[in-house]
Structure 1
Amino acid sequence: MSTVEYAVGTLAAVTFAGVLLKVVGGERVQAALAAIIDRALQ
């Protein structure tokens, strides 16, 4: 049973990482992050 739980946990982590990369990779998010960093450095 622990092997199945490990496999499901790994699959969930990979799926979450994929969704996170898709969101962070968006142009709007990158522009917002760049603006925040820009403001912080001024």
Structure 2
Amino acid sequence: MTHNSIALTETLVPLVGPQRAAALATWAEDETGAQTAEYGILTLAAVGFAGVLAVVLTSPEVRELLVDLVSQALQRG
């Protein structure tokens, strides 16, 4: 048990009894699925960033800069 679960158990004992308090503290510690949720949020953030990047890269100004950059690189080679 962690310090937080011990504190939670001690707080709940007068309210729900020792067995129920221990069960609730154990349930509160369970992080099943937390990693999956983190990956989901990270994936959504990556998709959002990709969308913004796509809009920026397809703008006429940025497209012109990229074409100039590639043209200059090919001329030097």
Q: TM-score range by the shorter chain?
A: 0.7 to 0.9
What corresponds to 2:63 in structure 1? 30
What corresponds to 2:45 in structure 1? 12
Count matched residues. Answer: 42
% same residue: 45
One-letter amino acid of the counterpart of residue 35, structure 2: S
Query: Larger Cα Rg: Structure 1 or Structure 2?
Result: 2
What corresponds to 2:19 in structure 1? none
Following superposition, the deviation at residue 9 of structure 1 comes to 0.6
Question: Which 5+ residue runs of structure 2 have no aligned equivalent?
Answer: 1-33
- Point out 4+ residue stretches in structure 1 off by more than 6 angstroms: none
Question: Which 5+ residue runs of structure 1 have no aligned equivalent?
Answer: none
Following superposition, the deviation at residue 6 of structure 1 comes to 1.2
With normalisation by structure 1, the TM-score equals 0.88
